[in-house]
Structure 1
Amino acid sequence: MKTVYLLRHAKSSWTDETLDDFDRPLAKRGRRAAEAMAHYVAKKAMTPQQILCSPAKRTRQTLECLQEIIDASVPTRFEKQIYLASAATLLRRLRRASDDLDSVMLVGHNPGLEQLAGMLAHGGDLAAHRLVANGFTAGALAVIEADVEHWAELRQGCGRLKAFIRPKDLLRDTGALHDEGRPHDPL
């Protein structure tokens, strides 16, 4: 069994129109969302064994929020190919992961992450599937358990969506975390 964590970067800022897409930072709301997701990941003990991250500024900043809360010593690779990658590219990258690893987190962008979640996960939590179908929102996390022994065996439909968590499900109007579980959060 292999576990794939798909984390989309949190809400980015569009205030500086002179910046290239690659260099856009997180918005204040995005930083709060990333911090809330980091606390959730820590609370649920979902620390991956390796993190693969797009080198774009907003993905790096999302990851920094996570690493402030979880074990910052998790081996992390920043890979240009993940920036705005298609689902097929992301799948090929996951297939190259070391079989010594049981879990990998991809920190990236849509539409690739949303398409990859749909490609891999054909079973699992129905409420989570409905949420993904409505959009893999900024800062959201999909947890997919793949019924494979080797990463190279990842293929369409091999996994089940165990959870799909959106920042808005974690934040109150004040920015505090909800403690109660959600129907799409069976963890």
Structure 2
Amino acid sequence: MKILGLFRHAKSDWQDPRARDFDRPLNDRGRKGAAIMGRHIRDHGVQWDRVIASPAIRCAETIEIACEASGRPVAVNWDRRIYLASSATLADLLRETEGDPRSVLMVGHNPGLEDLIFDLVPDDGSSPLRDVVEVKFPTAAYAVLELNIDRWADLSDKCARLVHLTRPRDLDPQLGPASF
């Protein structure tokens, strides 16, 4: 069995219309969400053997703030292919994972992360949290999937169970959509 974590970047700032999408930083709400989620990821207890992430500014800031809040620095493998990648591209990246670590945390963007959940988790009632993702996988959401595979190279559709899902608003209602 392999464990896959998916962590969507926190809320980004859209105020500078001249900024390239790749260069958008986090806004205040995003910084708060990244910090609270960093502590949650630490407390959830999965030890991530490998962290791979989009190098977009909002992802880098999400990781930096989450690590600072959790008190746990991590080594990150930055991969430009994650930036705005499709589910198929993300799955290919996972299949290429070297060294076959037990657990991988991927930090990236929607719709790719959300679609990856839909591709990996069957819509048969075996993962009730999948229904929550169907509504929305919001910024700074964190999901954990258990994959019924022995090697990352064996990753295939419908091989996973979604066993954990937390959104910032689950930990602090002020980080929910109604408060802003």
Common fold by TM > 0.5: yes
| Partners of 2:121 and 2:162 within 8 A in 1 | yes
Alpha carbons of structure 1 residues 163 and 26: separation in structure 2 relative to 1, 3 Å: same
Aligned-residue offset at 1:129: 1.2
Encode CA deviations 1:11-55: one digit per residue, 9 max, x unaligned: 101111110000000010011011111111111112311111101
Is the CA contact 1:48–1:105 (under 8 Å) kept in the aligned structure 2?
Answer: yes
1:111 equivalent in structure 2 = 111
Report if aligned partners of 1:12, 1:26 keep a CA contact under 8 Å in 2. yes
- Within 5 A, what are the aligned runs for 1:83-122? 83-122=83-122
Match of 1:42 in 2: 42
Q: How many correspondences in the alignment?
A: 173
- Contact in 2 for aligned 1:49/1:75 (Cα 8 Å): no
Q: Point out the structure with the larger helix share.
A: 2
- Deviation track 1:108-158 (CA, whole Å, cap 9, x = no partner) reads 0011000001111226431x1111000111110111000110000111000
After TM superposition, the runs of 4+ consecutive aligned structure 1 residues lying more than 4 A away are none
Aligned 1:15-26 pairs, distance under 5 A: 15-26=15-26
- Deviation at 1:70? 5.0
Q: Give, in whole Å, the separation in 2 of the partners of 1:173 and 1:135.
A: 17
- Choose 132-141 or 91-100, whichever is displaced more: 91-100
In structure 2, do the counterparts of structure 1 residues 132 and 174 end up closer, same or farther at CA, with 3 Å as the change threshold? closer
Q: Provide the alpha-carbon RMSD of the alignment.
A: 1.6
Equivalent in the alignment of 1:63: 63
Report how far residue 172 of structure 1 moved. 3.7
For 1:161, the aligned partner's letter is L
In the TM superposition, residue 99 of structure 1 has moved relative to its aligned partner by 4.4
Structure 1: 5+ residue stretches without partners = 176-187
User: Which piece of structure 1 moves more, 42-51 or 87-96?
Assistant: 42-51
**Residue 127 of structure 2 is aligned to residue 125 of structure 1:** yes
Deviation at 1:75, TM superposition (A): 3.1
Q: Which moved more, 1:141-150 or 1:116-125?
A: 116-125
Give the 3-state SS of the residue equivalent to 2:16 in structure 1. coil
| Amino acid of the structure 2 residue aligned with 1:28 | D
Instruction: Give, in whole Å, the separation in 2 of the partners of 1:47 and 1:132.
Output: 23
Q: 1:36, 1:125 → 2: CA distance?
A: 25
8 A contact 2:33–2:175 mirrored in 1: no
CA contact under 8 A between 1:24 and 1:58: conserved in structure 2?
Answer: yes
Provide the TM-score with structure 1 as the length reference. Answer: 0.87
Look up the SS of the partner of 2:174 in the other structure.
coil
Gaps of 5+ in 2: none
TM-score relative to the length of structure 2:
0.91
Amino acid in structure 1 at the alignment position of 2:155: L
Amino acid at match of 1:3: I
Match of 1:159 in 2: 160
Matched letter for residue 146 of structure 1 = L
